[in-house]
Structure 1
Amino acid sequence: MTINSNNKKVTDIFKPFFEPGSEDIVTPNLPANGNGHATVALEQFTGTLRIEDNNPMLYILGGGKFHVASGNGQINFTEYNDKAIVIRGLQQGDTIISKGITLQSQPPSSVRSNRTKNPQMQLLAGIVTEFAEVYKDKAAGLLTARPGYKFENGIITAQPAIVAVVERKIHKASLTQEDLLPSSYKGYPVDVVPASPIDILQYHPEVKTETNVINQLKAIQEPTFLEALTAPAQEAAILEAARLGNNYTPPPHVSLDEVQAAMTLTCHVSPEGGWTTLGPFLDDTQEHLQVAMYDFSAPQIYKMLKKVVRRGVSLTLVYDGNPAANVGKGTKVDDVAEDTIITALTKLGKQNFKSIKAWKGKSGICNNAYHIKVAVRDKKSFWLSSGNWQSSNQPDEDFASDNTLLKEYNREWNIIVDNTKLSDIYYKFIEWDFTRSAAKPEADLIESFELPDMYLPEETLEWSEIAKYRIFPPKKITFTRTRPVRIQPVLTPDNYIEHALSIIRSAKRTLYFQNQYISIGETLTPEYEELLNTLMDKINDPDIDARVILRAQRSDTDRKMLEALQAYGFDMSRVKMMSNTHTKGIIADGERILIGSHNYSNAGVQYNRDASLLIYNDVVANYYQDVFLHDWERRSRASVTEESVIIGSSNTEASLIDDGLSKISWKEYFSS
């Protein structure tokens, strides 16, 4: 009998069992008739075999042993209609922790291994499941557990750990000996953390929410591949609803061609240079303003839009349609609901204002978010940014007089481009979005069910830290025919990955990466996996000064993200966290910059609508590089903080606010 696999390691392991004359590598040997069992040491892999379905079961242990058995005492391998059998699993000693044989529709050669199959963490997952069963009724407040890493003083270490999730952390002195969790279990340290909002909804006995709601929330915020090792399986219908994809087609007769030409660029960052640059840009509109926007609610922008519409300017708006987050609170206390803005502009504009909610979903133009932030003015100039049109992104404040205000608002990278050809490209793509969305708009997933109120503590910073913050004024750079600039327009779902790969691979000396997050779920498309692996290889290269800044947002999401990055293989000494960064940019060698609205998730780089620019110029790159290095040195940290969330009701709000907690919306919690 012949054994064939797309993975040589799989073939080498199974040949001694079934092929006469193969060298024995196991003791005891597997009997000739295929009955019995055998064990052999191997490293973790994901492989495929061609197999005859005789009720087989195969169990693979990463870094340990595998066990082969069958219901009828026999195992036979043969061709299986060119279908691929993916073999993976986990065994600890004589105990089968998990198993899996999956029939794939593609031939074996197309099945790819990936770094989410971390053998060490898969082994730990079985121990975590056992730990949760043993202590769920013993220790006070234990809701669940998951595999992760030990954190010391808020900084991730390389030590795998059992992450025990509790309702709220309580000082040991307040607990009885019976209620205490152990400091270690079966050789792994136990790290106790407060529950996330989804953890509370899913596991708290007094708050527990229906499974379909939990699954829909997980479809919005996909669990990391580490969480998926122990998380309950999602319902097939929800998984299908959350499946990545869309019905996007690019506009006809429009190409995303690189432009090399004379033009003027206005580089600026928020919060200090946001509204002071965007306001005059909008006010200078003469005939037509076209806007593609995820969130818009800032009162100063609302006022400006009314002003330009009143004087007869034609205004077109394509927007996400999921209500803007946290309007009326915090930095957005004076912001205006999007529906109110749309109603007022419709009444005011009559024939010269039109708007449409973007068509989202697998049948639409983008997967789950119309996340773009672009405004095209008179088809001659355009503004492009990582930041929405909310007060948190483009605040109307005097930062020169009071730089302590900087800590309250988002860091954004913005740019204005004065060039007719590039403006025309973005104009036609947004015009196409409007036309396609007019065919069939869809409702938003998160609006289809109600959730209880959520309360979280506000972040505080030391005044000594704020005093170190520097203000960056806008910089206007003019290029001429004899000294032009090269710019590549970049859009998703069209061409982001190829150009992101290009700039990352081009880095020889430095690579600076700043984004809201890097998401690594259980299932990755090959394209996104290639992007992650390419980024990781550069970040881990000792010959490159590579640095990553991500957003310090919520302790539960921050920790899970860092754990997933480490388990995937990223060098965590090169990763820092920064409060209120909403930037999405990459700078290579101080000569090339990719700037725009793309978050690093599978949907964000491949299926949502986002816009960026790849600019080949050292003057432009160095403007934003100076901001990045400032943020790395003065505004970022390696540690994460812990916070407890409370899921309550309206009658608890007053007491919670007195305790220093504030209510946030679920849209803000999931905000991107």
Structure 2
Amino acid sequence: MRRIALVVLLLCLLAGTTGGILIVEFCPDPYRPGDPDEYLVLEGEGMLDRFVLSDGKGGFRFPPGTRIDGRLVVARNGPAFEETHGYLPDFEIEGRTPAVPDVVSSGNLLMANQADALYLYRGATLVQQVAWPADVRPREGQVHYLEEGVWDPRPFFIGQSRFSPATFDGVAVTAFAAPDCAYDAFSAAVASAEREVLANVYEFTDPAMAADLIRARERGAAVTVLLEGGPVGGIPPEERAIAGILNQSGIVVLSMTTTDAAHAKYRYDHAKYIVIDAGTVLIGSENFKPGGYPAPGLQGNRGWGACLEDPGLAAYFREVFLFDAAGGDIVPFEGTAAGVHVPYAPAYTAEFAPCRAEGARVTPVLSPDTSALILRLIEGAEESIAIEQAYITNETAYELNPYLAAAIDASRRGVAVRVLLDACWFNVEGDADNDEMVDLINRIAAAEGLPLEARIVDLAANNLAKVHNKGVIVDGRAVLVSSINWNANSPAFNREAGVIIEHPGVAAYYARVFADDWDAAAAGGTVIPGPDRLKMVAAACILAGLMGLYVYRRGRT
């Protein structure tokens, strides 16, 4: 009996080691012409002697005695895969290099871009199959991956990171708001730098912020700046000039862009953060522009930011920066020797000073890696949600933005929800932008009797250039400070960065800023004139002047 029990146990163990081998990742349509770097990944433990991979037309098996312990990468062409990913695969299908073992092919397994399938057999038994477009959506550059039995829980493309959620306790926080005190917070943080400053920002056109980084470099700190290489509208002359000034001072300036060597990792590098001395992170909604971090006493955007002091949190963001700043899509950005023009800004009376708090719990939010944390934040609300966004766009004409949908669902269970959107002309002059979104939200609230309300901000009442914020406050305890816009692109395809800060004092600070903007919008928002409206306003002013002159002259006769 003991011998039989041992045999049964051995068979169970063997079944467990081989039965767990699965296809967990594949890329049928990489960016390189002809797709020589297409690949698949097996994961599990056990011998591979009886396993066969097929696409229904061709296939391969492994050399006798091959064993898998963890992950095993099979690429079509080893050297091509190495050029794309920076390391050689475990096996290759087309024998091109002695450094990579070959699989034993039968026919030619080539993964078609738009429609195909992969089949994993163990002997004559079909262990797994995955087909596209049935199981995954085909898209150039996308890596399809299996996580907890689900294919593609989020879009994932060649070169991108897969950072996991992490939470850090005991973080010291300095919360700040733009335009009131944003520049002072930035300048003070950079002034503390002694060894290293890593800055990742979508756009950089502010000479005062550049001067702060140059002073850090002059003190001996190593400063590196990573910029988006193809922002909407192109790189402005002011940014090229800033890059030139930074380069002249010895600061390394890089840009992320598609090159001959590699496709850009993200649609846009839209993050806005700096890491200082591996101990401090400054992060927010604003670009490094005069409107985002205006000089004290000058008008600018409404934005939220936070300076966070914690070695573990800083190490996390430092790893993110170093990952993003490496690869064939990262190139030096030398800039120009031109001067920098700073646009005129009206005077502004600050209302909010920075708020210091100790002992916060902070969770980084990265797009596209952990954008789902925003949904969890909203879905976990029990009492209130305050949302202040530059804009919100729906996924389709029939499908709400998922974050907005989660907020509306929260109102259906009794959570009080307020949504405040920008009123600048480019966010209200279209046929489906902020004013239509506010109307839609309020119609849903009225039809269902929900504790839900949306408003357009009154920029003139609070002397703001625009609302560029991407913030959320939940239950007076947790705040999202981020660069993540509420559209289809930002959470899924951009590199974005934010944090969820859990601390009642910090939440109360941002709630006061939000309430100031919300209360000013009570009578209906004002719209900053766009190009066409400026012409109309100018024409109206001229007409009014002529009428005044006519009345004046009539009065003198």
Question: What is the CA distance between 1:595 and its match in structure 2?
Answer: 1.2
Name the amino acid aligned to 1:544.
Answer: V
Aligned equivalent of 1:562, options 411, 414, 435: 435
The DSSP-based 3-state class of the residue aligned with 1:272 is coil
Shift in alpha-carbon separation, 1:388–1:323, aligned structure 2, 3 A:
same
Aligned equivalent of 1:621, options 507, 527, 544: 507
Does the Cα contact within 8 Å between 1:246 and 1:363 map onto a contact in 2? no
Q: Residue 406 of structure 2 corresponds to which residue in structure 1?
A: 534
Shift in alpha-carbon separation, 1:474–1:642, aligned structure 2, 3 A:
closer
Does the Cα contact within 8 Å between 1:358 and 1:437 map onto a contact in 2? no
2:383 paired with 1:509: yes
Aligned equivalent of 1:631, options 517, 526, 534: 517
Name the amino acid aligned to 2:165.
Answer: L
Q: Residue 273 of structure 2 corresponds to which residue in structure 1?
A: 374
The DSSP-based 3-state class of the residue aligned with 1:357 is strand
Q: Residue 284 of structure 2 corresponds to which residue in structure 1?
A: 385
Shift in alpha-carbon separation, 1:354–1:593, aligned structure 2, 3 A:
same
State the identity as a percent.
Answer: 20
CA deviations on 1:438-491 (whole Å, 9 max, x unpaired) are 45799xxxxxxxxxxxxxxx999xx9xx9xx87111111122xxxxx3221110
Shift in alpha-carbon separation, 1:419–1:388, aligned structure 2, 3 A:
same
Equivalent residue pairs, number? 368
Does the Cα contact within 8 Å between 2:367 and 2:495 map onto a contact in 1? yes
2:448 paired with 1:549: no
Shift in alpha-carbon separation, 1:558–1:396, aligned structure 2, 3 A:
farther
Does the Cα contact within 8 Å between 1:297 and 1:324 map onto a contact in 2? no
Question: What is the CA distance between 1:246 and its match in structure 2?
Answer: 4.2
Distance 1:657 1:413 in 2: 37
Q: How do residues 452-601 of structure 1 correspond to structure 2 at under 5 angstroms?
A: 471-479=351-359, 485-497=360-372, 499-522=373-396, 530-538=402-410, 540-541=411-412, 543-554=414-425, 555-557=428-430, 560-564=433-437, 566=439, 570-571=444-445, 574-578=453-457, 579=459, 580-601=466-487
Distance 1:607 1:265 in 2: 29
Question: What is the CA distance between 1:637 and its match in structure 2?
Answer: 5.1
2:242 paired with 1:341: yes
Q: Residue 410 of structure 1 corresponds to which residue in structure 2?
A: 301
Does the Cα contact within 8 Å between 1:514 and 1:586 map onto a contact in 2? yes
Distance 2:487 2:174 in 1: 29
Question: What is the CA distance between 1:327 and its match in structure 2?
Answer: 11
Distance 1:585 1:381 in 2: 21
The DSSP-based 3-state class of the residue aligned with 1:602 is coil
Distance 2:512 2:456 in 1: 18
Name the amino acid aligned to 1:347.
Answer: Q
Q: Residue 316 of structure 2 corresponds to which residue in structure 1?
A: 425
Name the amino acid aligned to 2:384.
Answer: T
Shift in alpha-carbon separation, 1:659–1:246, aligned structure 2, 3 A:
farther
Distance 1:647 1:637 in 2: 22
Does the Cα contact within 8 Å between 2:197 and 2:221 map onto a contact in 1? yes
Distance 1:496 1:320 in 2: 20
Distance 1:434 1:518 in 2: 30
Does the Cα contact within 8 Å between 1:597 and 1:612 map onto a contact in 2? yes
The DSSP-based 3-state class of the residue aligned with 1:436 is coil
Q: Residue 160 of structure 2 corresponds to which residue in structure 1?
A: 249
Name the amino acid aligned to 1:595.
Answer: V
Shift in alpha-carbon separation, 1:314–1:297, aligned structure 2, 3 A:
same
Question: What is the CA distance between 1:531 and its match in structure 2?
Answer: 3.4
Question: What is the CA distance between 1:495 and its match in structure 2?
Answer: 0.5
Name the amino acid aligned to 2:158.
Answer: N
Q: Residue 259 of structure 1 corresponds to which residue in structure 2?
A: 168
Q: Residue 43 of structure 1 corresponds to which residue in structure 2?
A: none
Q: Residue 255 of structure 2 corresponds to which residue in structure 1?
A: 357
Shift in alpha-carbon separation, 1:523–1:577, aligned structure 2, 3 A:
closer
2:228 paired with 1:320: yes
2:310 paired with 1:436: no
Q: Residue 272 of structure 1 corresponds to which residue in structure 2?
A: 180
Distance 1:589 1:312 in 2: 44
Distance 1:641 1:474 in 2: 29
Does the Cα contact within 8 Å between 1:492 and 1:605 map onto a contact in 2? yes
Does the Cα contact within 8 Å between 2:423 and 2:528 map onto a contact in 1? no
Distance 1:657 1:287 in 2: 57
Q: Residue 196 of structure 1 corresponds to which residue in structure 2?
A: none
Distance 1:500 1:425 in 2: 19
- CA RMSD in angstroms comes to 4.0
Does the Cα contact within 8 Å between 2:284 and 2:481 map onto a contact in 1? yes
Distance 2:421 2:329 in 1: 36
The DSSP-based 3-state class of the residue aligned with 1:494 is coil
Shift in alpha-carbon separation, 1:470–1:273, aligned structure 2, 3 A:
closer
Q: Residue 54 of structure 2 corresponds to which residue in structure 1?
A: none
The DSSP-based 3-state class of the residue aligned with 2:518 is helix
Distance 2:164 2:354 in 1: 30
Distance 2:431 2:514 in 1: 20
Shift in alpha-carbon separation, 1:570–1:394, aligned structure 2, 3 A:
farther
Question: What is the CA distance between 1:504 and its match in structure 2?
Answer: 0.7
Shift in alpha-carbon separation, 1:531–1:546, aligned structure 2, 3 A:
closer
Distance 1:256 1:505 in 2: 17
Length-normalised TM-score, structure 2: 0.58
Question: What is the CA distance between 1:344 and its match in structure 2?
Answer: 2.3
Aligned equivalent of 1:106, options 120, 131, 134: 134
Q: Residue 446 of structure 1 corresponds to which residue in structure 2?
A: none
Shift in alpha-carbon separation, 1:642–1:471, aligned structure 2, 3 A:
closer
Distance 1:614 1:304 in 2: 27
Question: What is the CA distance between 1:386 and its match in structure 2?
Answer: 0.6
Does the Cα contact within 8 Å between 2:401 and 2:487 map onto a contact in 1? no
Question: What is the CA distance between 1:532 and its match in structure 2?
Answer: 3.6
Distance 2:234 2:439 in 1: 32
Name the amino acid aligned to 1:339.
Answer: R
Could you tell me which runs of 5 or more consecutive residues in structure 2 were left unpaired when the two chains were aligned: 1-114, 116-131, 138-154, 334-343, 447-451, 460-465, 544-557
Could you tell me which runs of 5 or more consecutive residues in structure 1 were left unpaired when the two chains were aligned: 1-82, 84-103, 112-243, 329-335, 399-404, 443-457, 480-484, 661-672
Question: What is the CA distance between 1:500 and its match in structure 2?
Answer: 0.9
Name the amino acid aligned to 2:455.
Answer: K
Does the Cα contact within 8 Å between 1:360 and 1:441 map onto a contact in 2? no
The DSSP-based 3-state class of the residue aligned with 1:581 is coil
